[in-house]
A and B are shown apart, each in its own frame.
Chain A
Amino acid sequence: MKNRSLVSINDYTKAEYLKILDLAEEFEKNPKQNLLEKFVVATLFFEPSTRTRLSFESAASQLGAKVIGFSDATSSSVSKGETLKDTILTVANYSDIIVMRHPKEGSARFASEVSKVPVINAGDGGNQHPTQCLLDLYSIRKTQGKLDDLHIAFVGDLKYGRTVHSLVMALCNFNTTFHLVSPVELKLPSYVKMHIKKNNLNYFQYTELPDIMETADIIYMTRIQRERFSDPIEYEKVKNSYILTAGMLTNCKPNMRILHPLPRVNEITEDVDSTEQAYYFTQALNGVYVRQALLATILGAK
């Protein structure tokens, strides 16, 4: 894994996921170590992000690395019309590893091919967001004590949510039973379901959120965006059907935990935040440890 770019969750094998998760556990116990003091980490964010960029920068800083980069394409040469290739070739001269978010799909794969230093994809349009996927796996294992044989429910926009696609594919390695809750318009695309079928795993589809409350070990919530609907009336019909409230949690399994890639809008009401089931803010914190594990592994410090 040393010096290898991480572009898509499929770039790693199951054994490699587990290696990162184990290392992340070590960092959780001891997050401040001077492992990367000789390294420069470049964070290139061609579109804004709060959690991903800050957690990468926090991860790098806590391990002693220097962080350079930009958080907005308008403050870089991109605004002068520089191509992605030129930006990457330049920044690769100044850094040991590049963390990149870009609005165009496939940009991370392209960057990894032109760059002489490894590239970590921090989100390429609607395509891949592998570090989110790894921190989701970490959060699932942490709350359930295992990754195998779980009932995992995905709720909301399963069509466009890139975090859902990557996580479903990764979970296909762990004998997961999938419970998919979404409006008909936003069902999980067939190319993702293909992975579930290929692995002979079970999946069930629902249109009502209460249907899964008693079976799920994990409920992975996502935001339904108005702009995804061609017919605004359809949006009005479904927009309130996928809101999780504290009152709905009475019959859930005691080990059940709620995850959300964040930001949330109204799909989880605030009264859920104080319940034992709410895990989404800890999930965001786990992102720091997982990213420390990735930086340390790819830079060869661990």
Chain B
Amino acid sequence: MESNSRKELVVSAIENGTVIDHIPAKSVFRVVKMLKLDSTDGQVTIGFNLESKKFGKKGIIKASNQFFENRDANKIALIAPSATLITIKNYEVVGKQQVEIPETIEQFVKCVNPNCITNSQQITTRFLVIDKADLKLQCHYCEKITGKNNIEIL
């Protein structure tokens, strides 16, 4: 009970919006950028290097009055597969969702291959996820593999 109330103090609660919890600490700013929370007018609270029993250090993002669709949630899975999306309405948790890596990915990842046609012309990128555990994306066009360390979000 005591530890719970102390947590509340670290990052304050929001009335309406989304909490993204359990982000690996090193990925928290990439998630912010990916969801374009660095250019929103709304209130965003970012917790970085918070203590976590599970991860040692974690990140948390609280975005007031912002709600994310599945497509955006899946984006997060690429860089923070452990993240949880919590929807808050009137200070109450109304939804909790573990992000999930989809089977295919469209539009928001850049192909690692500089000679890929998607990097020289206006073409929406498409990938097949061939390995979810050790994230590997195969480009639908050039067939080259973009690994987890090379993922660049468009």
Binding between chains A and B: yes
A: residues with CB less than 8 A from B are 8, 83-85, 102-107, 109-110, 124-128, 191
Binds A, one of B27-35, B55-63, B73-81, B111-119: B111-119
Give B99 Cβ to nearest chain A Cβ, in Å. Answer: 27
Give B130 Cβ to nearest chain A Cβ, in Å. Answer: 9
With A105-B113, A110-B117 known as contacts, the answer to whether A127 contacts B122 (CB < 8 A) is: no
Which A residues are in CB contact (< 8 Å) with B116?
104-106
Which B residues are in CB contact (< 8 Å) with A102?
117
Give B123 Cβ to nearest chain A Cβ, in Å. Answer: 6
Cβ proximity bits B75-115 to A, threshold 8 Å, 1 near / 0 not: 00000000000000000000000000000000000010101
Q: How far is the CA of A191 from the CA of B145 in the complex (A)?
A: 9
Q: Give the interface centre of A8, A107, A126 by most chain B CB atoms within 10 Å.
A: A107
**B141 interfacial contact with A, CB 8 Å:** yes
**B121 interfacial contact with A, CB 8 Å:** yes
In the complex, which residue of chain A has the Cβ closest to the Cβ of B130?
Answer: A191
Which A residues are in CB contact (< 8 Å) with B143?
8, 105-106, 127-128
Q: How far is the CA of A105 from the CA of B141 in the complex (A)?
A: 7
Q: How far is the CA of A110 from the CA of B120 in the complex (A)?
A: 12
Which A residues are in CB contact (< 8 Å) with B111?
106
Q: Give the interface centre of A85, A102, A124, A127 by most chain B CB atoms within 10 Å.
A: A127
**B142 interfacial contact with A, CB 8 Å:** yes
Which B residues are in CB contact (< 8 Å) with A126?
115
With A83-B121, A83-B122, A84-B121 known as contacts, the answer to whether A110 contacts B115 (CB < 8 A) is: no
Q: Give the interface centre of B111, B113, B141 by most chain A CB atoms within 10 Å.
A: B141
Question: Could you tell me if A104 and B140 are in contact, using CB atoms closer than 8 angstroms?
Answer: no
B: residues with CB less than 8 A from A are 111, 113, 115-118, 120-123, 139-145
12 contacts between A and B (CB under 8 A): A83-B121, A83-B122, A84-B117, A103-B115, A104-B142, A105-B116, A105-B142, A106-B111, A107-B117, A110-B123, A124-B117, A124-B142
In the complex, which residue of chain A has the Cβ closest to the Cβ of B111?
Answer: A106
In the complex, which residue of chain A has the Cβ closest to the Cβ of B140?
Answer: A109
Q: Give the interface centre of A105, A107, A109 by most chain B CB atoms within 10 Å.
A: A105
Give A298 Cβ to nearest chain B Cβ, in Å. Answer: 21
List 15 other contacts, CB 8 Å, given A102-B117, A104-B115. Answer: A8-B143, A83-B122, A84-B117, A104-B117, A104-B120, A105-B141, A105-B142, A106-B111, A106-B116, A107-B117, A107-B141, A110-B118, A127-B142, A128-B143, A191-B145
Q: How far is the CA of A8 from the CA of B144 in the complex (A)?
A: 13
Give A66 Cβ to nearest chain B Cβ, in Å. Answer: 28
With A128-B143, A191-B145 known as contacts, the answer to whether A106 contacts B118 (CB < 8 A) is: yes
Q: How far is the CA of A127 from the CA of B145 in the complex (A)?
A: 12
Which A residues are in CB contact (< 8 Å) with B117?
84, 102, 104-107, 110, 124
Q: How far is the CA of A127 from the CA of B144 in the complex (A)?
A: 8
In the complex, which residue of chain B has the Cβ closest to the Cβ of A191?
Answer: B145
Give A227 Cβ to nearest chain B Cβ, in Å. Answer: 14
Q: How far is the CA of A85 from the CA of B123 in the complex (A)?
A: 9
Which B residues are in CB contact (< 8 Å) with A85?
121, 123
Which A residues are in CB contact (< 8 Å) with B141?
105-107, 109-110
Give A128 Cβ to nearest chain B Cβ, in Å. Answer: 7
Give B77 Cβ to nearest chain A Cβ, in Å. Answer: 23
Q: How far is the CA of A85 from the CA of B124 in the complex (A)?
A: 13
With A83-B121, A83-B122, A84-B117 known as contacts, the answer to whether A106 contacts B139 (CB < 8 A) is: yes
With A127-B142, A128-B143, A191-B145 known as contacts, the answer to whether A105 contacts B121 (CB < 8 A) is: no
In the complex, which residue of chain A has the Cβ closest to the Cβ of B122?
Answer: A83
Which B residues are in CB contact (< 8 Å) with A128?
143
In the complex, which residue of chain B has the Cβ closest to the Cβ of A165?
Answer: B143
In the complex, which residue of chain A has the Cβ closest to the Cβ of B143?
Answer: A127
Give A89 Cβ to nearest chain B Cβ, in Å. Answer: 13
In the complex, which residue of chain B has the Cβ closest to the Cβ of A109?
Answer: B141
Question: Could you tell me if A106 and B122 are in contact, using CB atoms closer than 8 angstroms?
Answer: no
Give A121 Cβ to nearest chain B Cβ, in Å. Answer: 11
Which A residues are in CB contact (< 8 Å) with B139?
106
Give A172 Cβ to nearest chain B Cβ, in Å. Answer: 16
Q: Give the interface centre of B117, B121, B139, B143 by most chain A CB atoms within 10 Å.
A: B117
Q: How far is the CA of A6 from the CA of B120 in the complex (A)?
A: 23
